[in-house]
Chain A
Amino acid sequence: MTTRFFGDTAILTGRSLRHILRSPDTIITTTIMPIAFMLLFVYVFGGAISQGSGSARYVTYLLPGILLITIASSISYAAFRLFMDMKNGIFERFLSMPIARSSVLWAHVLTSLVASLTSVVVVVLVALVMGFRSEAGVGAWLAVAGILLLFTLALTWIAVIPGLTAKSVDGASAFSYPLIFLPFISSAFVATATMPGPVRAFAEHQPVTSIVDAIRDLFTQQPVGSDIWIALAWCVGILIVAYALAMATYHRKIA
Chain B
Amino acid sequence: MTTIPSQAAVAATGLRKSFGDQVALDGIDLEVAEGTIFALLGPNGAGKTTAVKILSTLLKADAGTATVAGFDVATQAAKVRESISLTGQFAAVDEILSGRENLLLVARLRRVPDAGQLADALLARFQLTEAANRRVATYSGGMRRRLDIAMSLIGNPPVIFLDEPTTGLDPQGRIEVWNSVKQLAGQGTTVLLTTQYLEEAEHLADRIAILDQGRIIANGTLAELQQLLPPAKVEYVEKQPSLEEVFLAIVGAAGKDGHAGNDPSIGTDKSGTDE
Contacts and interface: CB of A to CB of B under 8 A. Distances in A.
Interface of A: 7-8, 11-12, 15, 18-19, 22-23, 88-90, 92-99, 254-255
A176 B89 CA distance: 31
A156 to B, nearest CB: 20
A18 B97 contact: yes
Nearest to B59: A255
B88 A15 contact: no
Given A11-B108, A97-B110, A92 B92 contact: yes
A129 to B, nearest CB: 32
Interface string B69-108: 0000000001001101111111111111100010001101
B59 A98 contact: no
15 contacts: A7-B111, A8-B109, A18-B101, A22-B135, A88-B90, A89-B91, A92-B53, A92-B86, A92-B88, A92-B92, A93-B88, A93-B151, A96-B81, A96-B85, A97-B85
Interface of B: 53, 56-60, 78, 81-82, 84-97, 101, 105-106, 108-111, 135, 151
A88 B109 contact: no
A88 B81 contact: no
B238 to A, nearest CB: 45
A11 B109 contact: yes
A23 B96 CA distance: 9
Nearest to A21: B96
Contact of A254 (B58, B101, B111): B58
A14 to B, nearest CB: 8
A93 B91 CA distance: 10
A176 to B, nearest CB: 22
Given A88-B92, A94-B109, 18 more contacts: A8-B109, A11-B105, A12-B109, A15-B97, A15-B105, A18-B97, A88-B90, A89-B90, A92-B86, A92-B88, A93-B86, A93-B88, A95-B58, A96-B56, A97-B109, A97-B110, A98-B81, A98-B82
B149 to A, nearest CB: 12
B90 A255 contact: no
Contacts of B57: 95-96
A117 B268 CA distance: 66
Interface centre among B93, B94, B106 (most CB of A within 10 A): B94
Given A15-B105, A98-B81, A90 B58 contact: no
